[in-house]
């Protein structure tokens, strides 16, 4: 785990704060970031002291999603989005995970956060499933988790349009998450974590495994369907042009 970009701290007994802080790349899912997150969740899952995880970013960024180089590599047929998979890490974590998305969550970064057991958004931040902005169909489990967590209407709208939404707008649209000012996101997440930290770990693990059963059973098939859709859409010349000229705008 690259300590400089992913930090783990037990902030209270049984509560781990997992913070992504790659300021150079604005928390994009670079190879270093994906490897560091995988290592961190392995450590968390193996330590029986932990009962809850708060997963957050820095300043105004939660996760900026895939890199331009990574998208072009998939376009060229040199990779698929499952090669360095991180979107399912919180789902596979044995104890509950709270995605404290205090900052912008973009593309795969939003999908990654939505797989957490709890989500806290900030009113000021931007949340977008911007895959279709670049002309290719969504991956990272987005076609399942967004309608599942946000409701079919809003989830489908976000996926099909690729538009960006402020947390305050999502709050008005009725998302089933806490939406608070950015400065209050961690405090909101900590209250949830404290509540769970009082419970027996074995009970938390057992109940989480039960509650996530539907997602786990359906996710593998969804990912295969997303890979097929990618094969049909991401190799278009127009997609390369869009990634080259629109990325980061």
User: How many CB atoms sit inside 10 A of residue 169's CB?
Assistant: 14
Residues in the chain: 249
Half-sphere exposure of 62 (CA within 13 A, CB side): 33
| Tokens describing residue 133 | 């902005």
Which residues have CB under 8 Å from 10's CB, separation 6+? 16, 17, 49, 50
Half-sphere exposure of 106 (CA within 13 A, CB side): 20
Strand 6-12 and strand 15-20: pairing? antiparallel
Say whether 230 is catalytic. yes
Helical pair 142-150 and 213-233, crossing angle rounded to 10 deg:
130
User: How many CB atoms sit inside 10 A of residue 25's CB?
Assistant: 14
CA distance 114 to 120: 10
Helical pair 201-211 and 213-233, crossing angle rounded to 10 deg:
50
- Which residue is catalytic, options 25, 230, 235, 245? 230
CA distance 38 to 7: 12
What residues are labeled active site? 230
């Amino acid at each position: 785990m690259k300590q400089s970009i992913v930090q783990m701290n037990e902030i209270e007994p049984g509560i781990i704060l997992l913070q992504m802080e790659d300021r150079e790349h604005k928390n994009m899912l670079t190879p270093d970031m994906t490897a560091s997150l995988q290592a961190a969740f392995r450590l968390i899952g193996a330590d029986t002291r932990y009962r809850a995880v708060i997963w957050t970013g820095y300043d105004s960024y939660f996760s900026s999603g895939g890199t331009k180089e990574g998208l072009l590599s998939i376009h060229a047929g040199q990779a698929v989005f499952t090669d360095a998979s991180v979107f399912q890490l919180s789902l596979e974590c044995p104890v509950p995970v709270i995605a404290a998305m205090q900052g912008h969550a973009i593309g795969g970064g939003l999908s990654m956060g939505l797989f957490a057991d709890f989500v806290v958004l900030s009113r000021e931040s931007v949340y977008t499933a911007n895959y279709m902005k670049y002309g290719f169909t969504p991956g990272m489990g987005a076609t399942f988790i967004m309608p599942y967590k946000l409701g079919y209407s809003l989830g489908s709208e976000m996926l099909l349009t690729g538009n960006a939404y402020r947390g305050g707008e999502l709050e008005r649209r009725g998302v089933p998450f806490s939406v608070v000012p950015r400065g209050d996101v961690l405090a909101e997440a900590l209250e949830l974590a404290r509540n769970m930290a009082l419970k027996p770990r074995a009970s938390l693990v057992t109940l989480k495994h039960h509650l996530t059963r539907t997602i786990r059973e359906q996710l593998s098939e969804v990912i295969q369907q997303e890979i097929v859709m990618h094969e049909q859409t991401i190799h278009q010349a127009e997609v390369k042009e869009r990634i080259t000229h629109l990325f980061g705008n």
